[in-house]
């Protein structure tokens, strides 16, 4: 019982931290802000967490692993490379839509990680990008995708989806499936051969 209470309290703190980091940024968010958000004194937070940076680490690495997990599944698919890229666009949209606060912190605040973890994080990120790039390159070779700079395609796909966190806050009505369909259509119309 003590353990389940402690566990859920940590989750409450994690979620409040993600929201705070998203809204004010990591540096401008104080542990006193966070404590207030979960009805504790600042010092009491440290019964549940190690440090401010540990909160950021958990957010960053949790999300990095979600993307890499998605990549694992996509690579195993029996499908054309265009289909695989569509599946990755869907992955980005779905992650952004289901955990909007966490993913925003992940996108924008990772640079505040300190160096053993920063390097580790950038390695994961680089690996994801490389694997994505391979799919694009093969897609181009097979004539499924227009012959453009693969890096340019990659970064455009990535960032095309990053405004979603803004959107979702003001318009919770738009259905996810409609969002997915329209964004995919917009992007694929552009890169499909």
**What is the DSSP secondary-structure string of 83-131?**
HHHHHHHHHHHHHHHHSHHHHHHHHHHGGGS-HHHHHHHHHHHHHHHHH
Dig out the tokens for 85 from the structure.
């890229």
Query: Binding mask 74-113 vs a second copy (x if CB under 8 A, - otherwise)?
Result: ----------------------------------x--xx-
Q: Does 185 bind a second copy (CB under 8 A)?
A: yes
Nearer Cβ to a second copy, position 61 or 167? 167
Among positions 8, 11, 23, 42, the unique one binding DNA when judged by CB under 7 A: 42
Dig out the tokens for 93 from the structure.
């949209």
Nearer Cβ to DNA, position 105 or 136? 105
Say if residues 17 and 55 touch (Cβ distance below 8 Å): yes
Nearer Cβ to DNA, position 50 or 174? 50
Dig out the tokens for 172 from the structure.
């919770």
In the bound complex, what is the minimum distance in angstroms from residue 96's beta carbon to a second copy? 12
Spatial CB neighbours of 141, under 8 Å, sequence gap ≥ 6 = none
Q: Does 57 bind DNA (CB under 7 A)?
A: no
Q: Does 191 bind a second copy (CB under 8 A)?
A: yes
72 exposure class (CB count in 10 Å sphere: 0-12, 13-18, 19+)? exposed
| Alpha-carbon gap, residue 100 to 64, rounded angstroms | 14
In the bound complex, what is the minimum distance in angstroms from residue 87's beta carbon to DNA? 39
Kindly list the residues in this chain that would bind a second copy in the complex (CB under 8 A): 24-28, 108, 111-112, 146, 148-149, 151-153, 155-156, 158-163, 166-167, 171, 174, 179, 182-183, 185-192
């Amino acid at each position: 019982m003590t353990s389940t209470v402690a566990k859920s309290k940590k989750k409450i703190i994690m979620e409040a931290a993600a929201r705070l980091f998203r809204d004010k940024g990591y540096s401008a968010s104080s542990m006193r802000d966070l404590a207030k958000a979960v009805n504790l004194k600042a010092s009491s937070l440290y019964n549940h967490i190690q440090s401010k940076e540990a909160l950021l680490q958990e957010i960053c690495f949790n999300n990095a692993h979600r993307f890499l997990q998605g990549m694992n599944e996509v690579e195993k698919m029996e499908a054309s490379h265009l289909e695989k890229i569509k599946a990755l666009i869907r992955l980005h949209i779905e992650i952004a839509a289901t955990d909007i606060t966490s993913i925003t912190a992940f996108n924008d605040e990772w640079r505040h990680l300190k160096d053993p973890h920063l390097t580790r994080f950038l390695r994961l990120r680089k690996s994801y990008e490389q694997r994505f790039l391979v799919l694009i390159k093969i897609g181009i070779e097979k004539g499924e995708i227009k012959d453009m700079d693969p890096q340019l395609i990659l970064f455009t796909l990535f960032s095309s989806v990053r405004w979603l966190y803004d959107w979702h806050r003001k318009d919770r009505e738009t259905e996810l499936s409609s969002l997915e369909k329209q964004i995919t259509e917009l992007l694929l119309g552009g890169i499909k051969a």
